[in-house]
Every structure is written in C-alpha cells, then in structure tokens.
Structure 1
Amino acid sequence: MNTPRNMLNMLRLAVALLFASAFLSRCASMMTPTGGPRDSLPPVILNMTPDNFSTNRPTVGHGKIYIEFDEFVQLKDQQKEFFTSPAMKKKPLITLRGRGIVVQLRDTLAPNTTYSLNFGSAVRDNNEGNPLYSMRYVFSTGPEIDSMVLSGYTADSYKADSVSKSFIWFFPADSVENVA
C-alpha cells in the first residue's frame, strides 16, 4: 500500500509541518539592544599639527593649528573655558573639522614669547559629553619654551590661611596705569 504517490504526499506533509512550526514559533525575543556599557572616557589626543611645544613659530602668517582626537568631539562653553596666555587682542577662531579642532590665530604675536592656548573643559566627546580637562597647546615665537611656572603660595591676610583654587595674573609693571 506504500505507493510512491503516498510517500510523496507524506513527504510534502512533513515538509509543510516543518515550515509551519518554524514560522509559528519564536526563536528570539524582540527588544531594543542595550548598546553596551556607558562611555566614561574623555577623548584622547592623537596628533597636533604643528607639534605641541614647537618653537620659532612666525609672529604673522601663523597658519592653522589642528588637534586630532580618537573620536568625534564637540566644543562646549568655549567662551568661558578657552583663554590664552598672554592674552591676545583678537581671540583665536576655533572650529570643528572631522575628528579634531582647528585653531586659527588672528593676532600678531610678540617675538620671543611663549604662548599657551588653554581649553579648560571645552573639548568633550560627541556622544556622552565627557570633558577633556586641562587641555593645553603651547608654542613659542622664540628659540625656547618658557616654563610659565612661578612657585609660591597664596595667603588670605584676613584669615591668615592659604587660598585654594585661585588664579594669579602677572602683568608687566608699565602696562598698569595706577600702581598702588
């Protein structure tokens, strides 16, 4: 009674049951992917062009400074965070390009002077906003880099105690009109 026709029908029924059970059952649960652990690391500097701590930079026609990172970055509160030392009359123009930032100096620089571009925490990674604290680019228009360090301590004369988290600015004596 097992004719080839019956065998063929049985085979078709088995294949149909196999496909029906595959379509009607769920193999995986549908949910949004978790995305992995949260990024908590700040961006890492890969390259600076020209190099950080470069010397004999021109006082005019500076070209652009490009700082490349390992990930895309954003600039946040650059008006509050970014400053130069010594102060420049025309503030440098900072823009984003690719995985880095471009700094265009717009002022004529003094000869034989060390300049420091301090970014504070303005540079942050693009996804989580993790700041890169105390990023600094230093260059000199002369043959040497000045250490820009003066050691000492600050004291509050009223309390006879040291002062923490303070900035001290130095100016040439002839740049202040009324010296008290």
Structure 2
Amino acid sequence: MSGFAQTEQGKEGARSRRAAHRPSLSVILLSLGARGELERALAAVAGRCRRMEAEIVVVRAKGGDDCATLRTAYPCVRFVDAPVGSDCTSLRQIGMDHARGDIVALRQDGSVGDCMWLDALHATVGTVDDDRPIEVEVALAVSVEQSATGTDRRHGRPAASYATSPSSAPQRRRGDFGRSNAVLADVPTLAPTLGSEM
C-alpha cells in the first residue's frame, strides 16, 4: 500500500473515531426574567439545538405554570421548575443536576444574543480528537453571579474557568469529555483555538 493511501486511511480512521466519541451538548437557560425574555431565548436556540442534537433545559423560578404555552410550543425542551425566589446560583445548580450532556452551556434567558457562541461551541466540539488537548478562549463580561473558579467541582465534573479577555486564563479540557460548566455572557463571537500545546 502506498504512503498516500496509508495516510488517507489513517485520516478516515481518526474521523470515524471522532464521530463515535463526539460529546453531547446541553444548553441550559436560566430564567429569572419576564416570560418574553424566555420566549426570545427559546426562539433563538431551538433550531440550532435541534440541528446539533443538543438538549435544552429551562430552569425557571416563577410561581405557577406561567409557561404552559411554551411547554406546548417546544415539546423537546425540558422545563424544570425552581422554588420561587431562587437566585441565579440556585438555578445554575438545578440546571447542572438535570443536564444530560457531556458539555453544558449555561445562559441567562436575557443574554442569549445572536447564538454565534452556540455555533462556535458546536464547531469546536465537533473537531476534538480524543488524545488532543483543546483550548478555548472566550472574551467574557462575567458578572459576579455567573463567575466560578476553574477548580470548582460539581458532582465530580470539572467546571470551566472564565476568561475576562481572549489573552487571559483560557479554559482547558482534555479528551475525556467530563461534563464542564461553560458559562458564556453576551459576546459577539466565541473564538476557538484548537490543538494548542499546554
């Protein structure tokens, strides 16, 4: 067999391994605001998540069932009711407890934006090799309520670290795809850098 054929065969094997080990994605919407914000957030992420086969979990801290029509309109979305008066930290914990994906993206319903962050996250996840480290730098405007430390652990899963600018404190993950808590604030893009050496 020629060297070219062996190289092409090796590439195909890597592609099939990558597809077989592609981590699953959960998008959790934390809803503290008005119902209209949640409607806009669901309209923005639903189509993309369906194409990506990502689950959507909405954690809402409101009394009664003020989202009955949304439950009907979005049957694939899991709605989780949180106790009335829950803060963002409580909603985040409830969302992490209900997420099934290997990678979890948490957003507040009022900060979903244009969803380019979701496209970039999906593209990054789709190009990960099992044995290659990845580095993702995210320019974030992180509020105190959304912040966590890189050593924070939830249910034995590593939580992502949060960078305040693309040049500082990147989040790093290895190919075991342990569920990570990726909180993304209002940013125009998510800029992935693949195959970076540590």
TM-score by length of 1: 0.27
TM-score by length of 2: 0.25
